């Protein structure tokens, strides 16, 4: 059976990807790797380890000790924090990716899955129905690190024979663990505000349209691209995936329909607004549909219904 290491395991995506991988590949075969975190209770049922991805030797030992075949590399500094702390962003997002790829090669790892992002696009990219293959030129540290990730992953695949794959994830909405210091975080925080106080102040302006996805689809996109038939793939680490796009005002309307009296205010943060303004508002994901049958399950209404139901239960 496949042995899988997940970095960034206790983050927003990792904390839902790890249980999904454990269901599929067996609890003992999925090693959750966090960085200086207390292990959340849901990870007590399987192997855990501490790994600083900026330190090659820690990755090398974790991969060797656990006889890892596949790495899901989720450890990353998100967009807003990366602008404020370039040094940390470089250590984690650039050196971390390089360390994972080199440690994978050195230890005979079969496959590395690493997410890219809508942030890999920039102000010169066509913003509406952004094609899979187009001008990128991001103007954020996080975005530049994702282009680096895509190009390095494609290089290691085509030149060095390591099977590296990834999708360009949009803003991910989920109720279990909140994201940290991203630009799309408002679309999660709004649900906490709506349930707890009946109101929310958005740090992005009302008409800022961004691509978004509900967590179950994000988890599927990573596992589906990982398990796709290699011979069908003409791309590797650079697949657009899309599920829904909306503005803060549209999300507020969808919530107000379910929580009458919900009040949306705007308190725009110039840093995150400028980052959001440099990103596309809707991606064309035809290539992923053609090459590995990508298809999302949740649209805006299905996501809002499920978020409210689960978050209400969690906060009760």
Instruction: Please tell me the distance from the alpha carbon of residue 71 to that of residue 223, in angstroms, as a whole number.
Output: 12
Instruction: Please tell me the distance from the alpha carbon of residue 188 to that of residue 194, in angstroms, as a whole number.
Output: 10
Question: Which residue is catalytic, options 35, 72, 142, 186?
Answer: 142
Q: Coil, helix or strand for 177? A: coil
Q: Which stretch binds ligand SER (CB under 6 A): 103-111, 116-124, 196-204, 253-261?
A: 116-124
Give the x-and-dash track for 53-82 against ligand SER (CB under 6 A): -------------------------xx---
Instruction: Please tell me the distance from the alpha carbon of residue 136 to that of residue 191, in angstroms, as a whole number.
Output: 32
- Least spacing, CB of residue 142 vs ligand SER, in Å: 6
What is the 8-class DSSP label of residue 41? G
Footprint on residues 199-258 left by ligand SER (CB under 6 A): none
CB-wise, 149 or 184, nearer to ligand SER? 184
Q: Which stretch binds ligand SER (CB under 6 A): 15-23, 38-46, 111-119, 196-204?
A: 111-119
- Least spacing, CB of residue 145 vs ligand SER, in Å: 11
Q: Which stretch binds ligand SER (CB under 6 A): 35-43, 54-62, 98-106, 115-123?
A: 115-123
Q: Which stretch binds ligand SER (CB under 6 A): 22-30, 114-122, 234-242, 260-268?
A: 114-122
- Least spacing, CB of residue 203 vs ligand SER, in Å: 11
Please work out the total of residues on this chain that contact ligand SER, with binding judged by CB under 6 A.
11
Write out the two tokens for 15: 């904390």
- Least spacing, CB of residue 121 vs ligand SER, in Å: 11
Q: Which stretch binds ligand SER (CB under 6 A): 96-104, 154-162, 181-189, 227-235?
A: 181-189
Helices 300-315, 248-258: crossing angle, 10 deg rounding: 60
Please report whether residue 117 would count as binding ligand SER according to CB under 6 A: yes
Q: Whose CB is nearest to ligand SER?
A: 182
DSSP string, 70-129: EEEE-----HHHHHH-HHHHIIIIIIHHHHHHHHHHHTT--EEE--EEGGG--TTS--EE
Q: How far is CA 257 from the centre of its chain?
A: 28
Q: In what order do the strands lie in the sheet with 244-246?
A: 171-173, 210-214, 244-246
Helices 186-197, 300-315: crossing angle, 10 deg rounding: 50
The sign of the CA dihedral 13, 240, 153, 105 is positive
- Smallest CA-to-CA distance from 63 within 21, 102, 118, 14 is with 102
The strand pairing partners of 264, in sequence order, are: 200
Binding ligand SER (rule: CB under 6 A), the pick from 182, 193, 211, 296 is 182
Residue 186 annotated as catalytic = no
Write out the two tokens for 80: 């807003």
Footprint on residues 141-170 left by ligand SER (CB under 6 A): 142, 169
Binding ligand SER (rule: CB under 6 A), the pick from 184, 221, 245, 278 is 184
Give the binding site for ligand SER (CB under 6 A).
78-79, 117-119, 142, 169, 171, 182-184
Catalytic residues: 142
């Amino acid at each position: 059976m496949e042995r899988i290491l997940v970095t960034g395991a206790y983050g927003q995506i990792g904390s839902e990807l790890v249980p999904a991988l454990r269901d599929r590949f067996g609890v003992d075969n999925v090693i959750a790797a966090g960085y200086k975190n207390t292990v959340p209770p849901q990870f007590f049922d399987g192997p855990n380890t501490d790994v600083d991805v900026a330190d090659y030797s820690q990755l090398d030992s974790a991969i060797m000790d656990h006889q890892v075949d596949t790495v899901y590399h989720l450890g990353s500094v998100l967009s807003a924090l990366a602008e404020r702390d370039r040094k940390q962003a470089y250590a984690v997002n650039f050196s971390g990716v390089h360390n994972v790829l080199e440690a994978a090669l050195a230890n005979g790892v079969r496959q590395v899955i690493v997410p890219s992002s809508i942030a890999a696009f920039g102000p010169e990219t066509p913003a509406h129905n952004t094609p899979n293959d187009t001008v990128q030129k991001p103007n954020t540290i996080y975005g530049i690190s994702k282009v680096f990730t895509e190009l390095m992953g494609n290089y290691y695949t085509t030149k060095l024979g390591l099977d590296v794959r990834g999708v360009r994830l949009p803003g991910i909405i989920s109720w279990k663990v909140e994201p940290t210091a991203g630009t799309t975080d408002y679309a999660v925080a709004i649900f906490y505000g709506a349930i707890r106080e009946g109101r929310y102040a958005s740090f992005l302006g009302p008409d800022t349209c961004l691509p978004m996805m509900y967590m179950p689809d994000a988890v599927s996109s990573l596992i589906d691209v990982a398990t796709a038939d290699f011979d069908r793939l003409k791309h590797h680490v650079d697949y657009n995936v899309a599920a829904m796009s909306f503005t803060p005002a549209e999300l507020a309307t969808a919530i107000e329909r379910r929580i009458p009296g919900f009040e949306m205010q705007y308190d725009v943060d110039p840093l995150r607004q400028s980052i959001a303004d440099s990103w596309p508002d809707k991606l064309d994901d035809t290539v992923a549909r053609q090459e590995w049958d990508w298809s999302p399950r949740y649209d805006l209404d299905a996501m809002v219904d499920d978020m409210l139901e689960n978050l209400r239960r969690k906060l009760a």
